[in-house]
Amino acid sequence: MAEMREPIESGCPDPWQYMHPVMRKNFGQWKYHEHPRPGVLLHVAFSGDKIWTIKAGTQRILDVFSLRKLCDIGDQFADGYVHFTIRSNIEYLVSDESKVQPLIDALEGAGFIVGGTQNSVAMISHTQGWLHCDIPGTDASGVVKSMMDELIDEFRNANMPNRVHITTSCCQINCGGQGDIAINIQHTKPPRINHDLVANICERPSVVARCPVAAIRPAMVNGKPSLEVDERKCICCGACYPPCPPMQINDAEHSKLAIWVGGNHSNARGKPTFQKLVAAGIPNNPPRWPEATAIVKKILKAYKEGAKDWERINEWIERIGWPRFFEEVELPFTKYHIDTWRGARASFNSSSYIRF
Amino acid sequence: MAIDKHTTPMLDQLETGPWPSFISGIKRLRDQHPDPRINEMTNDLLGQLEHSYETRKGYWKGGTVSVFGYGGGIIPRFSEVGKVFPKSKEFHTIRVQPPAGNHYTTGMLRQLADSWEKYGSGLVTFHGQTGNIMFIGTDTQNTQNFFDDINEYGWDLGGAGPCVRTAMSCVGAARCEMSCTNELKAHRMLVNNFVDDVHRPALPYKFKFKVSGCPNDCQNAIERSDFAVLGTWRDDMKVDQAEVKNYIADKGRQYYIDNVITRCPTQALALNDDNTLAVNNRDCVRCMHCLNVMPKALHPGDDKGVTILIGGKRTLKIGDLMGTVVVPFKKLETEEDYESMVELATTIIDFWAENGLEHERCGEMIERIGLANFLDGIGIDPDPNMLSHPRQSSYIRMDGWDEAAEEWFARQAEAGK
């Protein structure tokens, strides 16, 4: 056997070598920024140096042709330095204002979308879905492509009350993260168990321990060691599925989409907040998921019309109240909106504050 | 040799519309790439994905794949329908750690693209939700070949499994006036101290570091990391009154009363009759809102440092947890400052490795054993900044009160208060 190569455990690389010279020179010495137009930021250093950032949305799952196209544009129209945002947008850095417009034209000409700055609907942060995940209830890239096709004007322009971060997740683990609006899979039926496979594939005590409501117990089924689920206790969360694939939670009909709003990671004006359930039972409907997009657009419309400047979705709802929110977005309020989990009591109204 | 292309009527519908289409990108690899291996692999990938769209089910299964010398860093994927789609039946993702702050040159991106098309599918994402560069799709042998190639020119695998995970940091001091710390240094010092724990999963569960340069927290550190580092400052914020007046001249007093003064969460601001801004810095909680609205006029103070919060995570298993303040303020200037932060991280990870249950995140362990016990375990004194408010329940045995009170006064005296 050929000798194996020992890895070089270099860890996280030093970004200094990849940083625009103006950014290296003015590191930690930035004075302020302006927003000359949607998709463009201008940062000015105490030295007087300036750097323009041009932000573009892409398909995120990049083929090497698209990646090289982005590089060609960066070499021909920018300075060869780029930065990726947490929402997978590419940002080009240029120190010469005259390069800004030709760069925008080149990006738009190649089919990329310039925008995503300040009070825009930012690129939807998403996960892998059917393309690559081992437990997905839906696709991620397809949902996002479908929604961004409809929200593209809100990405290109920055005229929402504040920025809007949308996320999608293909299971309840919610890898897409908290969002002003989150579109997540919500399973509605307990797992279907293939008892022939459990003993060979699953480490049964680990699976039992994984259940948040202690609904799983070891059992002999058809003479084989397996697991059984107390379906009266099961909350259909899917936590047993990753450690035990024979406990299939995904269902073509009963894995639905739910929409959550008001997750906000910033400390600005208030402490960070988690998202809250507003809609469920939405069909998981590839390839375009029109029902989910319609609800997202309805929420965005009400927010855009009703919120004050700088209010994020959670702050807007906090001000107008949940009764009016449900009224404005024409969504039903049900017993499922009442939290049953740990700490649920803190979400109950223990005052005489009532909205009319 | 022409390949037998799968028909993909559902995926084809994702090629319409103005947003860039990932399906068109995968088809380019199938139809235009010179390497038949990539044509065939992406053809079968499209076939399997179409099958998922038709049946609303995923068909990838995990497994055990890594590179020589490591135990993690790869997301193994084996197809359950590999007999029908044999060319993509192994389709592993390689997680590679990005440079802190996600800076690249086009030259380096090209070099990575060249390596990837030699060994992989040609599909890549900058970056996944874990913060890694995701090189999506290759077989087991080429996982090793690709890693050997890029590892020679400075790239290393990220975390996967129960281990220290790839860290994330914002663009920070490289381009942002709000930055209150050297994010990239904090990021690299933290995660690179734990390369062994990144590459060889042996912890109760995952452990994530995220660094945001200010309380706007663009990296979602508080809600998404076990160890969140947020830049802040403790002296007075800086006010350029001439620029304040310029803002007011532009949009009027009412706009700034409505959008700055009354939006301050602790009512620490007032607008004077002469259109200057009065700040009560002792009431200010550094929320960033007024700085965000008036970036030319308002800036962080000079006495900068970081706040460290521990235990943020998402749903599984006990529900969402935000991180909890464990270090209200820490200077990060000297090498010793940075090293003591790394020491704190080591202490916390060691304590959690010792006391956490299997598949229990650090925040869940704190929930189970109590914050006071956790602080005791890592040798940090309690501080009112760690709480929204003191306890409401009287159900606690308190016969150690007198000693605890003495310790408080002793610490206050030591701090010169």
State the average pLDDT over residues A199-215: 95
- The CATH number of A193-235 is 3.30.70.20
Does the distance separating the beta carbons of A43 and B175 come in below 8 Å?
yes
In chain A, residues with a C-beta closer than 8 Å to the C-beta of B148 are 5
Percentage with pLDDT > 90 across chain B: 97
Query: Who's near A194: CB < 8 A, 6+ residues apart?
Result: A246, A248
Choose, out of A63, A156, A251, the residue to mutate when testing the contact with B (most B CBs < 10 Å).
A63
Q: Which of A150, A161, A118 is nearest to A313 (CA)?
A: A161
pLDDT at B329 over 80: yes
Are B56 and B156 found together in one domain?
Answer: yes
pLDDT at A202 over 90: yes
Are B133 and B213 found together in one domain?
Answer: no
* Boundary-marking domain end, from B141, B160, B179: B160
In chain A, residues with a C-beta closer than 8 Å to the C-beta of B154 are 10, 13
Does the distance separating the beta carbons of A130 and B58 come in below 8 Å?
yes
State the average pLDDT over residues A166-186: 95
Does the distance separating the beta carbons of B10 and A286 come in below 8 Å?
yes
pLDDT at B139 over 80: yes
* Nearest CB to A15; choose among B16, B101, B128: B101
Residue type, B227: F
- Do A15-114 and A193-235 come out as alike in CATH topology? yes
Kindly report, residue by residue over A48-90, the tens digit of the pLDDT. Answer: 999 999 999 999 999 999 999 999 999 999 999 999 999 999 9
Q: Which of A87, A58, A279, A85 is nearest to A183 (CA)?
A: A279
The pLDDT assigned to B315 comes to 83
Are B155 and B172 found together in one domain?
Answer: no
What total of structural domains would you count in chain B?
3
* Boundary-marking domain end, from B126, B143, B160: B160
pLDDT at A11 over 80: yes
Cα-to-chain-centroid distance, residue B374 = 23
Tell me how close the Cα of A189 comes to any Cα of chain B, in angstroms: 15
Are B262 and B360 found together in one domain?
Answer: no
State the average pLDDT over residues A123-152: 96
Tell me how close the Cα of B348 comes to any Cα of chain A, in angstroms: 21
pLDDT at A1 over 60: no
The pLDDT assigned to B316 comes to 83
Query: 3-state class of B32 per DSSP?
Result: helix
Query: Considering chain B, what is the average pLDDT of its residues?
Result: 97
Query: Who's near A18: CB < 8 A, 6+ residues apart?
Result: A81, B99, B103, B104, B105, B108
Are B2 and B47 found together in one domain?
Answer: yes
Structural domain contains residue B90:
yes
Give the domain extent around B343. 168-234+303-391
* Boundary-marking domain end, from B299, B324, B349: B299
State the average pLDDT over residues A88-105: 98
Are B96 and B177 found together in one domain?
Answer: no
Structural domain contains residue B408:
no
The pLDDT assigned to B25 comes to 98
In chain A, which residue's Cα lies nearest the Cα of B111? A68
Tell me how close the Cα of A284 comes to any Cα of chain B, in angstroms: 8
Tell me how close the Cα of A286 comes to any Cα of chain B, in angstroms: 6
In chain B, which residue's Cα lies nearest the Cα of A129? B58
Does the distance separating the beta carbons of B176 and A33 come in below 8 Å?
yes
Cα-to-chain-centroid distance, residue B395 = 37
Structural domain contains residue B409:
no
Q: Which of B60, B69, B47 is nearest to B143 (CA)?
A: B69
Does the distance separating the beta carbons of A239 and B103 come in below 8 Å?
no
Are B341 and B221 found together in one domain?
Answer: yes
Distance CA B120, CA A274 (A): 38
Q: How many other β-carbons are positioned within 10 Å of the β-carbon of residue B269?
A: 21
State the average pLDDT over residues B388-399: 96
The structural architecture, per CATH, of the domain A15-114 is 2-Layer Sandwich (3.30)
Judged by a CB distance cut-off of 8 A, whether residue A220 touches chain B is no
- Per CATH, the homologous superfamily of domain A129-188+252-338 is Sulfite Reductase Hemoprotein, domain 1 (3.30.413.10)
Structural domain contains residue B399:
no
* Nearest CB to B28; choose among A65, A149, A250: A65
Are B292 and B315 found together in one domain?
Answer: no
In chain B, residues with a C-beta closer than 8 Å to the C-beta of A265 are 217, 220-224
* Count of CB pairs separated by less than 8 Å, A with B: 355
Are B195 and B344 found together in one domain?
Answer: yes
* Nearest CB to B151; choose among A8, A132, A142: A8
The pLDDT assigned to A319 comes to 97
Q: Which of residues 223-242 of A touch B (CB under 8 A)?
A: 237, 239
DSSP string, B54-109: HHT---EE------TT-S-SEE--EETTTTTSGGGSB--EEEEPPPGGGEEEHHHH
Does the distance separating the beta carbons of B122 and A71 come in below 8 Å?
no
CATH code of residue B13: 3.30.70.2500
Judged by a CB distance cut-off of 8 A, whether residue A87 touches chain B is no
In chain B, which residue's Cα lies nearest the Cα of A33? B295
The pLDDT assigned to B190 comes to 98
Are B313 and B386 found together in one domain?
Answer: yes
Are B274 and B214 found together in one domain?
Answer: no
Judged by a CB distance cut-off of 8 A, whether residue A15 touches chain B is yes
For residues B318 and B70, which has the higher predicted lDDT (pLDDT)?
B70
Does the distance separating the beta carbons of A132 and B75 come in below 8 Å?
yes
Structural domain contains residue B396:
no
The pLDDT assigned to B2 comes to 77
In chain A, which residue's Cα lies nearest the Cα of B172? A28
Domain boundaries, chain A: 15-114, 129-188+252-338, 193-235
Are B245 and B223 found together in one domain?
Answer: no
State the average pLDDT over residues A254-269: 97
